[in-house]
Structure 1
């Protein structure tokens, strides 16, 4: 059947760009992540990964950052994209184990892991050490920035583990419960957390109600956009229970088109609140610190963070049409016509967009390290 795909960002305001360092950063990062991809995925999965979903998204999301920042962003997306794809078809026990490995690697990058030394942990440490170089050398708020990102990471990885349990049970959440869970499982917090690096924003700024509401609004829009674009592919692969469209149809007893219309109405409210909060951002003049001349005045750095949120949301929508991950070769046409073809589930198809992951027990090979 065909449905009309709503434009959730028709009044968002931010334009899309591509980072000029895209080619260099994505090539370096793809070479770096390849040993983990080879370990976890078969030849077909490796070819799917080579389509460069992650490097393109990072380069659209962080279009205005320098090459060093973009390389870290590509590494982040590559690492957690592999994790997400693998745990989508892994047992809950394996997903939980890998979550512990990754979080411990970030909390103790120079220590010995209590979960054993392995490739996942080693590469997480490499990513994290590179991310540390983005912090300003004289920054006063680096500790809180690091803590925020690790908290986002732990929340994301643990939520993905819980999602594995949800898949095994086959249940469907309520709308309110789903949206709360989705903020974590989307990994959008990681995208938001990385925006802090290099800005040296005080804790008083990041914990302010308006800034937190702006961050949450951007995360919500990222989740809604991702669910909208991924629904068709998730339905065909039998993984659509963890999608806002399925949840809304189930709870509100709506048709498919009605569920997409509900999504458009809900997203409109999120956009309006985001814009209202932009107008409510305090000056924070009492926190102004002139010591970081290279980073600019505090108000300018706060604005860069807020603009980063806006560009990140726009990038998710633009990327979904640019990449073949969700709409195949039809992204440009769907963006123009807004007509999306929904196909039923293909029996026995459990992999997403060409990813055929080997048996979940293969993850135990991660513990092998010379």
Structure 2
């Protein structure tokens, strides 16, 4: 029997959280600059006054700078600062778009992409989001050579991400639940997976023939799916509480395969393990491009591995999804959803606050 996926569920639901990364060879690793770059990035967010005081405190408690240090542990200090900025930027945009109607989501998209395409353009007074994104993007561009293939890949990936937010806003208006494969295609974009992985190429200067190679693309797609489903399984209780769980792989599995929540989580674990196998098998199938490029490819692949692991580790260590119970859940993997917990969750800003921010 299908479990109700909205907040009117009256009975507690208990399930085991999937552990599809059990065989993932990349262990938790944190950048040595944790404690400085994350603090700098948090101050940067605060300086732009994107949320009200109460919401900003909740945003800070999510430790998005820690996320940056966990998903970019192998890179330079400057790179890690950019990584912290990117983590913060994603969640700022997500919070904006979680309450946006399609029209306002379009405004958010236009603002962000104008920054990425015109990084040194003077921003108009009151354009908080544009000024915020410009700081990130200028620091990111300093990490690589102008004209590098990775820049185009990042901009393309971010464009997909921003446009997909408009589609998600349209789905939110109608509470549409997509079939699993349809959902995954959109989720890879709403997660910003391509842009995030593309950032790992900044400074490595990998040629287009490498980035577009079928094996690299297959491994990248598997990693993208692992990032997406990791986030979805952790965020499902919060999204259920906020009434936006229709855009979550768990809900799509429930609807398409006629499963309850525990059954959907078990299905997700099997799917995740298959993606892990695809990624690890790809390492053995990589061709050679010569010693210098091969060394950078290896660095790129390792970076993707730590990116996936870091995203999962942060989900337990931050209070965003599990409050103060994250590390306990990481061990027991036992989760109980109760109606009381569902009714207590709020976002960081309202539709009215978003409209004021975008119309400034």
Q: TM-score, normalised by structure 1?
A: 0.89
Q: Which residue of 1 aligns with 2:155?
A: 150
Q: Which residue of 2 aligns with 1:47?
A: 57
Cα deviation, residue 5, structure 1:
1.4
Indicate whether 1:359 and 2:351 are aligned: yes
> Is the contact between residue 68 and residue 85 of structure 2 (CA under 8 Å) also seen in structure 1?
no
Q: Which residue of 1 aligns with 2:33?
A: 21
Summarize the alignment of residues 177-256 of structure 1 with structure 2, pairs less than 5 Å apart: 177-256=182-261
> Is the contact between residue 178 and residue 252 of structure 2 (CA under 8 Å) also seen in structure 1?
yes
- Identify which of 318, 328, 342 aligns with 2:323: 328
Secondary structure of 2:15 counterpart: strand
Cα deviation, residue 363, structure 1:
3.2
Q: Aligned residues, how many?
A: 348
Secondary structure of 1:201 counterpart: coil
> Is the contact between residue 96 and residue 354 of structure 2 (CA under 8 Å) also seen in structure 1?
no
Cα deviation, residue 13, structure 1:
1.1
Cα deviation, residue 46, structure 1:
0.9
Counterpart-to-counterpart distance in 2, 1:191 and 1:176: 21
1:157-205 per-position Cα deviation (integer Å, ceiling 9, x unaligned): 1111211111111111011100111101112222201101000100110
Cα deviation, residue 117, structure 1:
7.0
- Identify which of 103, 120, 135 aligns with 2:129: 120
Counterpart-to-counterpart distance in 2, 1:314 and 1:44: 31
Cα deviation, residue 53, structure 1:
2.5
Indicate whether 1:98 and 2:103 are aligned: no
1:104-131 per-position Cα deviation (integer Å, ceiling 9, x unaligned): 1110123367x99722112222211111
Q: Which residue of 2 aligns with 1:343?
A: 338
Counterpart-to-counterpart distance in 1, 2:155 and 2:344: 34
Counterpart-to-counterpart distance in 2, 1:299 and 1:177: 35
Summarize the alignment of residues 253-264 of structure 1 with structure 2, pairs less than 5 Å apart: 253-264=258-269
1:87-110 per-position Cα deviation (integer Å, ceiling 9, x unaligned): 101222111111111101110123
Query: Which stretch shifts more, 231-240 or 99-108?
Result: 231-240
Runs of 4+ in 1 over 3 A off after TM superposition: 344-350, 358-368
Cα 1:135–1:253 change in 2 (3 A) is same
Indicate whether 1:56 and 2:66 are aligned: yes
Counterpart-to-counterpart distance in 1, 2:222 and 2:99: 30
- Identify which of 156, 167, 170 aligns with 1:165: 170
Cα 1:344–1:65 change in 2 (3 A) is same
Counterpart-to-counterpart distance in 2, 1:10 and 1:336: 12
Cα deviation, residue 42, structure 1:
2.3
> Is the contact between residue 14 and residue 314 of structure 1 (CA under 8 Å) also seen in structure 2?
yes
> Is the contact between residue 24 and residue 276 of structure 2 (CA under 8 Å) also seen in structure 1?
yes
> Is the contact between residue 237 and residue 345 of structure 1 (CA under 8 Å) also seen in structure 2?
no
1:19-53 per-position Cα deviation (integer Å, ceiling 9, x unaligned): 110111011111111133x24x2222111112143
Q: TM-score, normalised by structure 2?
A: 0.91
Gaps of 5+ in 2: 1-12
- Identify which of 278, 301, 308 aligns with 2:296: 301
Cα 1:30–1:337 change in 2 (3 A) is same
> Is the contact between residue 25 and residue 55 of structure 1 (CA under 8 Å) also seen in structure 2?
yes
Counterpart-to-counterpart distance in 1, 2:338 and 2:198: 36
Indicate whether 1:71 and 2:85 are aligned: no
1:303-328 per-position Cα deviation (integer Å, ceiling 9, x unaligned): 00000111111111111111111111
1:189-247 per-position Cα deviation (integer Å, ceiling 9, x unaligned): 22201101000100110011111111111110001111111111111221111111111
Counterpart-to-counterpart distance in 2, 1:305 and 1:82: 27
Gaps of 5+ in 1: 289-296
> Is the contact between residue 238 and residue 350 of structure 1 (CA under 8 Å) also seen in structure 2?
no
